[in-house]
Amino acid sequence: MGRITLKDVSEHAGVSRSTASLVLNDDPSIPEVTKKRVRASMLELGYVYNRQAATLRSQKSMALGLVVTEIRNEYFAELAMSLEGAAYEAGYTLLLCYSRDDLRRQETQIERLFERGVDGLVLLPAAETEPAKMDLLLRGSQVPFVLLARHFGLEHDYVGADNIRAGELLGAHISSLGARSVSILGGPASTSAGLERIDGFTRSVSGAGIEVVPEQRITSHTNASDGARATARLLDGGTLPDVIVAYSDVIAVGVYAELHARGLRPGTDIAVAAFDDIPGSEHQVPPLTTVATFPSAIGLACGELLLRRIAEGVPESYSHTLIEPQLRIRASTVSWRPRHG
Amino acid sequence: MGRITLKDVSEHAGVSRSTASLVLNDDPSIPEVTKKRVRASMLELGYVYNRQAATLRSQKSMALGLVVTEIRNEYFAELAMSLEGAAYEAGYTLLLCYSRDDLRRQETQIERLFERGVDGLVLLPAAETEPAKMDLLLRGSQVPFVLLARHFGLEHDYVGADNIRAGELLGAHISSLGARSVSILGGPASTSAGLERIDGFTRSVSGAGIEVVPEQRITSHTNASDGARATARLLDGGTLPDVIVAYSDVIAVGVYAELHARGLRPGTDIAVAAFDDIPGSEHQVPPLTTVATFPSAIGLACGELLLRRIAEGVPESYSHTLIEPQLRIRASTVSWRPRHG
DNA sequence: CTGTTAGCGCCTTCAA
DNA sequence: TTGAAGGCGCTAACAG
């Protein structure tokens, strides 16, 4: 029961209603003594500010929507958390929805957020999102929005890792090892992040005479089991590449497991590398070479961009903020030696 | 701009305002033809339901608040996701806040959720939460709430793993191995979950003549690095127990790493076990013995309980729902053999 | 610094 | 089935 209203407070404190309202905003035109009295009344009466009413009136909800595919993956979890941090600092509350990579669900979630009058929206789009349709839905709403970690086309604000660069960094490192063949365990098909990583990597190794054997795709929910399965498929196909590059560190856990199951030592018999640098990766045995993609920096930048859009309105040109990745060279690649001289 | 209102829609469709309102609720008293016409008008005009207004009027926000410490830990992530799933199915939106185990922040977050008029609240309390104070804050609000995964005292609704049982299960297994000494890497002090696990475990092994060497506590943000550090402290102290029991699987990753760094093979030279059974644990090398605590079942049950409380009001007696854990026996314990005959 | 006023968009009741 | 009316609690604008 948000029973106690500002009216009750103002009567109890013996001030006008507008004064009470100004106290809420800590307006400097009100003397400290009055503020104190009003606040004491609020406390005494157990007053709770009714933001629904304020939103209705002022057309500002002080809420941000976040739609992500899922967050069991630590990388996404970190994104969500840092975004919430940015929102919290600015006084915003985060409305969180998981699309679970389901298009209908994603659409419903976004519509519900619009019903709630979010001041801005962050979308980590589901893998198969149809660009034109989504564009219509988002733009039609007039609500500022930013795409996170995955994009579709270029006509939107976007914040994510520089995945092409990440691929290149890893490609250059792999080339320097003297490897002859690489297999990529590719993560979800049809996400920009996945394609860019593979693009950058492939381009980067193509000059070095390295054979990139056909990729093993992984379904969109990427976890250790998927990595193990993809590795099994690869090896069952009769290929034993010099290097396995996994779409993400989480997948690499499964790669390690499957290699061990077949008597192959990762980092010795076969080099392994991945992307993201989640906290556990340096504690893998052997420590995993990976490309750090700094999800907390991405989430923060995303929050800041969105808040700027909310404050300043729709810009003429959209911003693509790419967070620079960093290669983390560890034993899973450097302790490996080429078999062929 | 939620500019288009129900009034606009009703005028466009040539029906009364109350009819348009009833169509929103899919009221059976309205003929299908009328519904169709009204819905067409909504679509054509780009009508967006204004839930702020509805909330103000009806005193139901159709929103649930969730305050968790953090979710980079996969266990918590799963909790949050399954809870969101339950909320989504019932038409509720989830407002998510991270306390980051910070008491001031936790309080602010809860107050903000009340301002937003959440119909119910789920709290995974920060480690040092003061029971009396929190009790006052929550009860004072009149908003139904459920504690998740950690509790304080008994006078609340609570859903979590049966942590005592989890400890007992693991203790019984460890006893059966013929181990003589165990060290517990204890996770956050002062959470009910941590204490219960240790309690159950200790009680269960106490009859078997197993020495429980002093625990190494881990700070509240538990990740692989913390596990490695705690292991280092333990071994630096000159103790080499037969078994290390970690507070959670995430910590065990660090335990493995530190053991390897010192030339000790987990599962062979020393047994290792933990709690939670996150997806990566069966893919560790060696696969990790652990007690599955089913976070998705917990999240779901929590959501259902809260929705029931919202529907039925405050009950006479509170419910403690404990999800039964299951022991997962894997190589990290069973491949170990006692040194002393 | 105060008081007054007029809504924000929806829900609900009541009478037609 | 419909139309009219009142109000949820707050904000914003303006005149005192």
**For residue B1, what pLDDT band results from cuts at 50, 70 and 90?**
very low
For the cut 60, the answer to whether the pLDDT of residue B341 exceeds it is no
Q: Which of B112, B140, B283 lies nearest to residue A253, judging by beta carbons?
A: B283
Q: Which two tokens stand for residue A282?
A: 């340096």
Contact A61, A117 (CB under 8 A): yes
Find the Å distance, CA of residue B193 to C1' of nucleotide C10.
45
| Res A220: pLDDT | 57
| Same domain, residue pair A142 and A230 | no
**CA gap A151, A154 in Å, rounded:** 8
**For residue B104, what pLDDT band results from cuts at 50, 70 and 90?**
very high
| Same domain, residue pair B220 and B274 | yes
**CA gap B9, A206 in Å, rounded:** 59
| Same domain, residue pair B289 and B300 | no
Positions in chain A short of pLDDT 70: 1-2, 219-221, 340-341
Helices (H) and strands (E) in chain B, counts: 13, 12
| Same domain, residue pair B180 and B267 | yes
Q: Which two tokens stand for residue B15?
A: 């029906």
**CA gap B142, B165 in Å, rounded:** 33
* pLDDT tens string B160-218: 999 999 999 999 999 999 999 999 997 777 789 999 999 999 999 988 889 988 777 77
Query: What is the b/e burial string over A72-84, where b = at least 16 CB atoms within 10 angstroms of the residue's CB?
Result: bbbbbbbbbbbbb
**B290 inside domain:** yes
**A341 inside domain:** no
| Same domain, residue pair A155 and A191 | no
User: Which of helix, strand or coil describes residue A160?
Assistant: strand
| Same domain, residue pair B234 and B168 | yes
Which CATH number fits the domain that encloses residue B95? 3.40.50.2300
pTM score: 0.94
DSSP state of B270: B
**A119 inside domain:** yes
**A1 inside domain:** no
Supply the range of the domain harboring residue A91: 62-161+295-324
Find the Å distance, CA of residue B14 to C1' of nucleotide D2.
11
Query: Which nt sits closest to B50, CA to C1'?
Result: C9
Mutate to test the interface with A, among B67, B69, B93 (most CBs of A within 10 A): B93
Q: Which residue has the higher pLDDT, B273 or B5?
A: B273
Burial class (CB in 10 A: 0-12, 13-18, 19+), B254: buried
| Same domain, residue pair B186 and B283 | yes
**CA gap A16, B71 in Å, rounded:** 45
| Same domain, residue pair A178 and A289 | yes
Q: Which of A52, A97, A254 lies nearest to residue B56, judging by beta carbons?
A: A52
| Same domain, residue pair B91 and B32 | no
Question: β-pairing, B63-68 with A320-323?
Answer: unpaired
**B341 inside domain:** no
Q: What percent of chain B has pLDDT over 70?
A: 98
**Cα end-to-end distance, chain B, whole Å:** 77
